[in-house]
Each structure stands twice: as structure tokens, then as C-alpha cells.
Structure 1
Amino acid sequence: MHEFAIFWDWLSFAARWLHVITAIAWIGSSFYFIALDLGLVKREGMPEGAHGEEWQVHGGGFYHIQKYLVAPARMPEHLTWFKWESYATWMSGFALLAIVYYAGADLYLIDRNVLDVSAPVAILLSAGSLVVGWLIYDLLCRSPLARNDTGLMLVLFPILVAVAWGYTQLFTGRAAFLHLGAFTATIMSANVFLIIIPNQKIVVADLIAGRKPDPKYGRIAKTRSLHNNYLTLPVVFLMLSNHYPLAFATQFNWVIAALIFLIGVLIRHYFNTIHARKGNPHWTWGAATVLFILIMWLSTAPKVLTGEEKVSAGAQALMASAHFPAVRDAVMGRCAMCHAAEPVWDGVRFTPKDVALETEGQIAERAREIYLQAGRSHAMPPGNVSAMTEEERALIVAWFEEARR
């Protein structure tokens, strides 16, 4: 079974790598087309139906791009669709969610001091929230509110704040941030899959049939694309946050998440305004800086824990091992000076990755990570600053592998 732990860790790495690659492709193409759309210029001599054009230079070549609000009079032979970047990003992200948080629900998804539920219930809450989130968002976009983009976004923001708070009442802080990112990314990808691409296909079908396309489909798709544009930067932050417990593992983590959405909007507003040649709103950077300083201050508030420590059945089995007392002493002696609620190692002010190893239960719950980080590899302690011996590492390996047979 210990071989399975190694395989699963590499599978997680592979899924993460794929997710990052596809996300780069999706975000890159999205940002490019937003900038292109905002930078279009109307000039004399453009073909009938053309809304604007742009001349660009890249890689030693010049590109002449024209946009039609509905579609050209004649469908070109070859049409490039930008959709697979979005689909692959969401699918690889969901696969990563399943590999890390669903398969490791007892460790990464469930905080029994927050909500004591079984793994199947926690997974159901996770997946269900993504579906319900899309349905509520889509309903709002189809309501009269959709007639005003700014008004709709002002309604969506408090919903996102409520979702951020709600996730912190269900899962670990790390999982709460990840799920808020997945919640938002699901909306973005569903916009592409269920709205933007189908609307574009309706226009194409009308052209092939010789009918004049209805411009409403283009307007609807553009609104959803605008939402995706403003949601992208907060999603990137939330996906990276699992490396930074100062963001997800503090008392006001949900407020931090809410402020990140505002910062993302400010930054995108700056670039959108620049690309549209409508000025240079430097104030957005000042406002974003103030909000980020506020986030830094909020992150200093400790996470309030209530109730007694609860240990899973799997961790209890690991604690029953004959090797456990020696492993416990090694981990507490080599790791707990940093991995503690109040670290004593000079320069370490907060618990690294929100992983505390001060009690027997905490050590047993983190057995797989200890095995991979300090047993099978020398990643921990970093630089072996606490001088963990090879005998201690071998003991950790023997403890975990014996318990997994």
C-alpha cells in the first residue's frame, strides 16, 4: 500500500501540471481576446458588417484582424474555435480536486472541529455546491438584472462573499479557499460550455442555412465573457492560496477571499481601460495596494479553534503501532519547533502550510505527508536544519509502510 501513496502523489503532481498548462492556455487566450476586442478601431474601407479592426506585430510578422459583431456575410472554410482550453482546465482541475481533496477527504477536506461529517457527505457537499452555484448564477444572468452589467456584478459580489463564508463553515480553511476558486472556475467554464460556444454555433448554423443571425446571441456571449474576464485573477489567487496559510488558515479568511475579488476587479479595470484607450486609471493600483495591506493585517488574526481534538479511525490505527512512540518523539523533536501553533524556530512566525505536529493525533493524521516529505524524501526538515538522522527517517518509513500492509 505504501507504493500506492507514492503513485498517488505523482498522480497529483501530473494532474496539477496539466491543470497549470491548460489554465495558462485558457487565461492567455481570454486576456488576448479581451484586449483585442477593446482595442478595435473603426476605419474607412472595412468590409460590410465589420465592426472594427486592429493591426498587431508579433514574432517578426504583422497581423491584420477584423471583428464582425454578428458574423461575416460568408462563412470562411476554416474556423478556429477557442473552447478546449476552458474544458481541459476545468476537467483537469476537477480531477485534481478528486485526487487531493476527495481521496484525502479526512485530511484535506474535513475539519472535524468545523463540521464533523463523513467523507461521502463532505464530497457530496463539495460537488453539490459547484452545481448549485452555477444554477443560481445562470438564473441571475437570465433575469432582468442582466440588462445592466454593473448592477448584475454588484449583486453577484455579496453572493460570492456569502459563499466564501459558507465554505469556511463546511471545510478546512485550505479546502474552503480551493472550493471558492473551483466554484468560480465552474461558473467561468460553464459560461463557455453552456452559453458562449452554443450561441456561437447558433450563429454559424444560421449563416450556413442562409439566415441572418440574431445579434442577441453575440451580446449574451459577450456579457458572460466579461464576467469571466473579471473573475480570472481572483481564481488564480485562490488556486495558489493552498501554499500560503496566512491566507486560508486565519480567523478572517473569508474576508480575505472577498477582498481578493475586489482587487481582481480593480486590476482588470485598469488593463481593460488601457486596452480600450480610455485613459490610464492609476488610482486602481493605489486602491488595490490599500486592500492588500488590509489583507496582510487581517491575516495576523489567529484562527480560533473550539472543542477537543478529534482523531479519525485511520489515525488511531497508526497511533496503535509499536513504532509510533519513537516516530512521535522524532517528529516532535525535529519538526514541532516550526509546525506548531506558536513556532519557536527563529524567523518562523506562523505554522508552515497550517500543518501542526504538536500532538499525537496531529502526527498520526499527517502520517502520509510525513512519510513522503521526511521518510521517502529529504524535503523536510528544509535543509535538514534540525538534523533528522537517517535512522529516524527509516523509522518513519517502517511505521507508515507496516501500517499500510
Structure 2
Amino acid sequence: MYEFAIGWEWLAFAVRWLHAVTAIAWIGSSFYFIALDLGLVKRDHLPPGAYGEEWQVHGGGFYHIQKYLVAPTTMPEHLTWFKWESYSTWLTGFAMLCIVYYGGADLFLVDRHVLDISATTAVLISLASLGVGWVLYDLLCKSPIGKNTWGLMALLYVVLVAMAWGYTQVFTGRAAFLHLGAFTATIMSANVFFIIIPNQKIVVADLIAGRTPDPRLGAQAKQRSLHNNYLTLPVIFFMLSNHYPLAFATAFNWIIAALVFLMGVTIRHWFNTTHARKGKPTWTWLATVILFILIIWLSTVPKVLTGEERAEAAPTFRRFAENAHFPAVKDTIATRCSMCHAAEPVYEGIARAPKGVVFESDAEIAALAREIYIQAGRSHAMPPGNITDMTADERSLLTAWFESAVGEAQ
């Protein structure tokens, strides 16, 4: 069992690394081509069918690029396809979902204090949501509203916010954010697999056969590329969020997710407008900062919403061990946390304390008071999936312990 746990951990690391590499390749090429497309300039000397051109300099040389909106008059000898970056990113991401969240469903996917379901049921809901999400999105794009670019994007935003709320009612906060990223990334990769690349293949086949390609194929692919462009940054946020419980494990996590999608729009709008040489809308950065401050405010669950006070400063760790709440806190941690956070963990499948965090002495507990406060007091990130049934009163105790010690230090 020990060897299996170690091997599984390294498998997860290897797949995560591969996922990061492929995601960099996909996102990098996507951002490059969006910037290139927006920066194209129409000139009189362009050959028939050419939409625009761009001169670029990189790596000690100059590049002269021309784009044909539908297709050139003849098929070029060599054609480079950009598709495997997308496919490999989704495949490695799904592998990570299987390894971490399906393989460890009781720990990372299911929180029976959120919804009391079996691990099998949770996995089936996860799989169904990804598939149904793409079908719904595709139907909307092909419906009459799909002809209105911004109307469609507004409706899609409503769908994404609804999914954010829905996921938080089913899974752990960490899994909810991860699934929201997977839901969005599935739409993006499916756009490439089912629409963009097939349309391009039809155009190529028409060129080879001497037929005139249908311009609607290019327009459809461009619409899906636009959606992918605006969805990329939120996906990155959700994939990184599992390291930050104040994002995914607080009371207003689904609203935070909704604001993250808006930040993706404001940031990309600045880049897209700038690349199109239509000015520099600096207001978008102010809007992004305001949205992010609002997210921070929501994550701390301020008094105006819950009646609770917030701590503002951290004292030396000795004050935590000397605090009146500490004996009860120590008992709570021994009951709810020590099965994993010990020199020799007893929880099945965990060979070493996660991140090397051990709570076996007063000094070790006091030294990590802030992390305990954030992970298990202010948020529900720990224990994962509340596997040890930490109660609301115990979380309140951890919060009171940290905040009273902070108050004593001021």
C-alpha cells in the first residue's frame, strides 16, 4: 500500500506537469493567433482572396504573414495545423480529474455536508455535466440567438454563472471550481475538435476538388475562436484556485466565480482592442482591479453580510499557544486533523503528511495558526470534503482562537 501511494502521487505529478506544458502550448498559440488576426492590415497590393497582412519581427528575422479569410485560390504545398495543443491539454486535464478527483472522490470530490451522495454518483454527475455543457452550448450557438455575437455571449455568461452555483451545491468548494474550469475548457476544446478543425478540413477538401469554399464555415469557426479567447483566463484562474481556499471554500464562492468570468472579459478586451489598433481602453484595468477587490471582500465574509468581525493583523505564534481557546483548539485538531497531519499518518492512501504539515506539538500548531484559520476556520477547505466531520462550532472555535489572539497582540 505504501508503494502504491507513492507511485500514485508521482503519477499525479507527472500528469500535472504534462498538463501544464500542453496548456502553455495551447494558450500561447491561441493568444498569438488572436493578436495576429486583430492586427492584420488590409492593403491594395494583397493577392486575390487575402484579407490582410502583418509584418512581425522575432528571433533575429522578419515575418511577412497574410491571411485568407476563407481560403487561397490554390492549396499550398505545406499546411501546419494547430489542434494537438488543444486536444492534449484536454486529455491531460481529464486524466488529472480522474487521478485526483475520481480516484480520491471521498476526499476531494464529495462533501456530504454539502450533498450526501456516493462517490460513484458524484463521478457520474461530473461526467454528465461536462457532456451536457457542450451540447447546450453548441445548441445555443446554432440557434437564432447565435447570430447575435454579444447577445449569445451574455446568455453564455448566465449559463456559466448557473453552473458555478450548481457545482457548489454538489461538490466540495475545491472540486466545484475545478469542475467549472473543466466545464469551460471542455467547451473550448470541443470547439476546436467539432467545429474549427472539421470546418478547416472541409475548406481544404473543397480547394483540392476545385470547389469554392463556403465562407460560412470560416465565420462559424471565428465565432468559436472568439469565445475561446474570452474564456481562457477564467479557466486558468479556476485551475490555480485549488491552492487558495479563500477563493473556492468560502460562503460566496459561486459569486466569486461569476466575477472571475467578468475579469476575463475586461482583461481580454484591453488586449484585443490594443492588438486591433483601436486604442488602449485603460478603464478595463480599473474595472478588473475593482472586481478583484470585490472578490477579496467577498472571500473574507465581512460583518455586513454575516455579522462576524475580521482579524487585521497576526501576532507572534507564542500568543496562539497561550490563548485561552488553545486547549480546545488542540483537541479539535487532534480529532479532526491528526489522522493526516502527523509524522506517521493513519489515513488510508496517505504515506506522508500533506505538504509536510504536522500538528503534533503546541509549537507546530501555533506556528501555523494563520493557515489553520484560513483553511479550516474562515473556509471549509480542510478537512478535504469534511471527511472527519468538523462541526460549525469547531470552525467557529478556530476562528475565535485566531482572532482573539490577534486582538491580544494589538
Describe the SS at the equivalent of 1:64.
strand
Letter in 2 for 1:178: L
2:252–2:298 Cα contact (<8 Å) kept: yes
2:90–2:189 Cα contact (<8 Å) kept: yes
1:229–1:268 Cα contact (<8 Å) kept: yes
Q: TM-score, normalised by structure 1?
A: 0.79
1:157-236 paired onto structure 2 within 5 Å: 157-236=157-236
Question: How many residues align structurally?
Answer: 341
Provide the residue aligned with 1:84 in structure 2: 84
Alpha-carbon separation, structure 1, partners of 2:115 and 2:360: 28
Deviation at 1:335, TM superposition (A): 8.8
Ranges in structure 1 where 5+ consecutive residues have no aligned partner: 305-310, 321-329, 364-405
Alpha-carbon separation, structure 2, partners of 1:123 and 1:159: 21
Provide the residue aligned with 2:289 in structure 1: 289
Is 2:375 the partner of 1:351?
yes
Letter in 2 for 1:120: T
Provide the residue aligned with 2:27 in structure 1: 27
Is 2:331 the partner of 1:331?
no
> Percent of aligned positions with the same letter in both sequences?
68
Deviation at 1:207, TM superposition (A): 0.5
Once the two structures are superposed, what CA deviation does each residue of 1:83-132 show, in whole Å capped at 9, x if it has no partner? 00000000000000000000000000000101111111110000110000
Letter in 1 for 2:277: R
2:229–2:268 Cα contact (<8 Å) kept: yes
Deviation at 1:209, TM superposition (A): 0.4
Is 2:147 the partner of 1:147?
yes
Deviation at 1:360, TM superposition (A): 9.7
Instruction: Mark the CA change 1:361 to 1:336 in structure 2 (over 3 Å): closer, same or farther.
Output: farther
Alpha-carbon separation, structure 1, partners of 2:43 and 2:122: 57
Alpha-carbon separation, structure 2, partners of 1:25 and 1:93: 14
Provide the residue aligned with 1:386 in structure 2: none
2:174–2:245 Cα contact (<8 Å) kept: yes
Instruction: Mark the CA change 1:332 to 1:170 in structure 2 (over 3 Å): closer, same or farther.
Output: farther
Alpha-carbon separation, structure 2, partners of 1:255 and 1:346: 25
Deviation at 1:336, TM superposition (A): 7.8
Alpha-carbon separation, structure 2, partners of 1:51 and 1:60: 27
1:4-403 paired onto structure 2 within 5 Å: 4-301=4-301, 331=359, 333=361, 337=365, 345=369, 349-351=373-375, 354-356=381-383, 361=388
Once the two structures are superposed, what CA deviation does each residue of 1:281-339 show, in whole Å capped at 9, x if it has no partner? 000000010010000000012999xxxxxx9xx99xx589xxxxxxxxx735369837x
2:52–2:66 Cα contact (<8 Å) kept: yes
Describe the SS at the equivalent of 1:67.
strand
Deviation at 1:362, TM superposition (A): 6.3
1:22–1:88 Cα contact (<8 Å) kept: yes
2:199–2:218 Cα contact (<8 Å) kept: yes
Alpha-carbon separation, structure 1, partners of 2:210 and 2:347: 73
Structure 1 residue ranges (4+ consecutive) displaced by more than 4 angstroms after TM superposition:
346-349
Once the two structures are superposed, what CA deviation does each residue of 1:113-165 show, in whole Å capped at 9, x if it has no partner? 01111111110000110000000000000000111110000111111101000
2:173–2:248 Cα contact (<8 Å) kept: yes
Alpha-carbon separation, structure 2, partners of 1:216 and 1:335: 67
Ranges in structure 2 where 5+ consecutive residues have no aligned partner: 307-335, 341-345, 349-357, 391-410
Alpha-carbon separation, structure 1, partners of 2:70 and 2:14: 41
Aligned-CA RMSD value: 2.7
Alpha-carbon separation, structure 2, partners of 1:123 and 1:345: 34
Once the two structures are superposed, what CA deviation does each residue of 1:50-72 show, in whole Å capped at 9, x if it has no partner? 01000000010100000001100
Alpha-carbon separation, structure 2, partners of 1:11 and 1:208: 45
Describe the SS at the equivalent of 1:241.
helix
Deviation at 1:226, TM superposition (A): 0.2
Letter in 2 for 1:77: E
Provide the residue aligned with 1:323 in structure 2: none
Alpha-carbon separation, structure 2, partners of 1:186 and 1:8: 25
Alpha-carbon separation, structure 2, partners of 1:232 and 1:226: 10
Instruction: Mark the CA change 1:347 to 1:8 in structure 2 (over 3 Å): closer, same or farther.
Output: closer
Letter in 2 for 1:333: S
1:319–1:360 Cα contact (<8 Å) kept: no
Instruction: Mark the CA change 1:209 to 1:58 in structure 2 (over 3 Å): closer, same or farther.
Output: same
Instruction: Mark the CA change 1:200 to 1:319 in structure 2 (over 3 Å): closer, same or farther.
Output: closer
Alpha-carbon separation, structure 2, partners of 1:333 and 1:360: 23
1:242–1:248 Cα contact (<8 Å) kept: yes
Once the two structures are superposed, what CA deviation does each residue of 1:196-241 show, in whole Å capped at 9, x if it has no partner? 0000000000000000001000000000000000000000000000
Deviation at 1:355, TM superposition (A): 2.4
Alpha-carbon separation, structure 2, partners of 1:34 and 1:53: 14
- Between stretches 279-288 and 40-49, larger displacement belongs to 40-49
Alpha-carbon separation, structure 1, partners of 2:120 and 2:180: 20
Provide the residue aligned with 1:377 in structure 2: none
Alpha-carbon separation, structure 2, partners of 1:239 and 1:259: 16
Q: TM-score, normalised by structure 2?
A: 0.78
2:106–2:387 Cα contact (<8 Å) kept: no
Provide the residue aligned with 2:2 in structure 1: 2
2:107–2:387 Cα contact (<8 Å) kept: no
Letter in 2 for 1:104: G
